[in-house]
């Protein structure tokens, strides 16, 4: 089939690769000048399937309320909040019931474990070399945190995840550069998890997709779909506008997707939940992390990506998308200093330190939506939130299998658009 993909982030690029691998004639459109320049650009890079869970969870509304008064809150509400964001919060609050949470957590983790397998298969098949490190450790600052995580550890056991509870001394043996002046209770060590440079992978996979015949058209703006011919795209590029007809259109454009789909009657309740990261060159390798850690209290990840350290976290709903929140960025610097104070070149480096803000396309209940919609010829691969990198390869293969009318390798109950009602 002749297939258009709208969006060249990690979701769009992996979808292009899988569809091109199946022999489809694929064209990818993106409004930017290169692939992976929005959410995929400088995310945490963590691939930890056991920790891919819905934001909508029992007790979470109360936590968010308490965070409003915290200086280094992992979740923030920023003003102004639009009517759509208020509506999203109402749907999110409804999805926080235990029954809904358990169902959505199972859906996300099935997809996450499958996606990690697919990531490894693709990287090995194509011999892709990108910055990555094996192992992931969740740092617990207090005994209270250690007690609180026990319920989550049972979930990991039930899922067959390989992990080990370690004390502070064992954690320092795993990550020798941990700050000796920072006291903590212990950690959860996950040797099979990893961190990797999402954008590097996306660019390499884009090249592989092109070798399979996929075409990428950048600086190309796609207009909202039309009800009379939803798989005919109006594309503006180079100052010219044209119509191009396809057999199918797969919308993978993250937070921009609702605008494309609303005109054909598809309501996609996606909110832009902004995250932040700082990336800097490693100053002294012996003072840098070997792989990745997560600060459980502040929900901040520190990842080693080649010769750079990336610190990522925060979740901000609302506010001006063009403005960075100084408090959110300050939290990242604080957590880096707490754990690896000598790891990164942060002073007198000019443009070498990169401070980034990106919009995560989040659905209120957690899991993404994959596959065909109720509109003939229109498909979606959307709503992966903060787990786009961890879910991308599996989501793309599921969409490709569905388009080929093959049964996907995993149970995809609840991942179709019917879940949204």
pTM: 0.97
How does DSSP assign 245-263, residue by residue? E-SEEEE--GGGHHHHHHT
Could you tell me the two tokens for 417? 């658009």
Evaluate the omega torsion of the peptide bond into residue 80 and state whether it is cis, within 30 degrees of 0: yes
Res. 143: pLDDT tops 90? yes
- On the question of pLDDT at 355 being above 80, the answer is yes
- Mean of the pLDDT values across residues 204-232? 98
Cα(152)–Cα(150) distance, integer angstroms: 5
Residue 71: per-residue pLDDT: 86
pLDDT at 321: 93
**What's residue 350's pLDDT?**
57
Q: What is the mean pLDDT of residues 228-255?
A: 97
For the chain, percent of residues with pLDDT exceeding 70: 99
19-75 pLDDT, tens per residue?
999 999 999 999 999 999 999 999 999 999 999 999 999 999 999 998 887 889 999
**pLDDT at site 3:** 98
Strand segments (E) across 9-121: 25-29, 46-47, 75-78
Q: Indicate whether 371 pLDDT > 90.
A: yes
Residue 351, pLDDT > 60, answer no
Mean residue pLDDT across the chain? 96
pLDDT digits (tens, 9 = 90+) for 252-304: 999 999 999 999 999 999 999 999 999 999 999 999 999 999 999 999 999 99
């Amino acid at each position: 089939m002749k297939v258009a993909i709208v969006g060249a982030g990690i979701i769009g690029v992996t979808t292009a690769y899988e569809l091109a691998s199946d022999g489809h004639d694929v064209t990818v459109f993106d409004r930017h000048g290169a692939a992976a320049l929005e959410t995929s650009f400088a995310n945490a890079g963590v691939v930890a399937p056991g920790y891919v869970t819905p934001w909508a969870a029992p007790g979470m509304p109360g936590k968010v309320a308490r965070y409003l008064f915290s200086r280094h809150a992992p979740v923030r509400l920023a003003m102004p909040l639009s009517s759509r964001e208020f509506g999203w919060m109402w749907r999110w609050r409804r999805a926080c019931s235990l029954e809904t949470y358990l169902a959505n957590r199972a859906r996300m983790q099935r997809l996450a474990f499958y996606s990690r397998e697919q990531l490894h298969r693709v990287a090995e098949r194509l011999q892709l070399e990108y910055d990555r490190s094996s192992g992931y450790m969740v740092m617990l600052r207090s005994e209270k945190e250690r007690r609180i995580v026990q319920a989550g550890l049972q979930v990991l056991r039930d899922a067959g995840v390989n992990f080990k509870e370690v004390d502070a001394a064992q954690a320092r043996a795993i990550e020798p550069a941990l700050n000796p002046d920072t006291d903590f209770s212990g950690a959860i060590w996950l040797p099979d998890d990893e961190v990797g440079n999402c954008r590097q992978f996306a660019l390499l996979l884009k090249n592989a997709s092109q070798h399979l015949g996929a075409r990428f058209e950048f600086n190309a703006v796609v207009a909202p779909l039309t009800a009379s011919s939803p798989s005919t795209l109006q594309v503006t590029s180079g100052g010219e506008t044209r119509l191009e007809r396809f057999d199918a259109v797969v919308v993978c454009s993250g937070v921009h997707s609702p605008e494309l789909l609303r005109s054909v009657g598809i309501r996609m309740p996606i909110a832009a939940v902004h995250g932040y990261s700082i990336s800097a060159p490693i100053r002294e390798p012996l003072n840098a992390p070997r792989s990745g850690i997560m600060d459980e209290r502040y929900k901040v990840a520190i990842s080693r990506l080649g010769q750079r350290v990336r610190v990522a976290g925060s979740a901000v709903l609302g506010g001006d998308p063009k403005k960075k929140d100084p408090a959110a960025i300050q939290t990242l610097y604080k957590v880096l200093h707490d754990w690896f104070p000598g790891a990164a070149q942060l002073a007198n480096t000019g443009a070498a330190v990169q401070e980034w803000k990106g919009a995560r396309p989040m659905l209120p209940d957690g899991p993404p939506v994959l596959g065909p919609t109720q509109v003939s010829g229109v498909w979606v691969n959307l709503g992966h939130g903060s787990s786009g990198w961890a879910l991308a390869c599996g989501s793309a293969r599921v969409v490709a299998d569905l388009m080929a009318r093959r049964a996907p390798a995993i149970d995809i109950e609840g991942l179709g658009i019917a879940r949204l009602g």
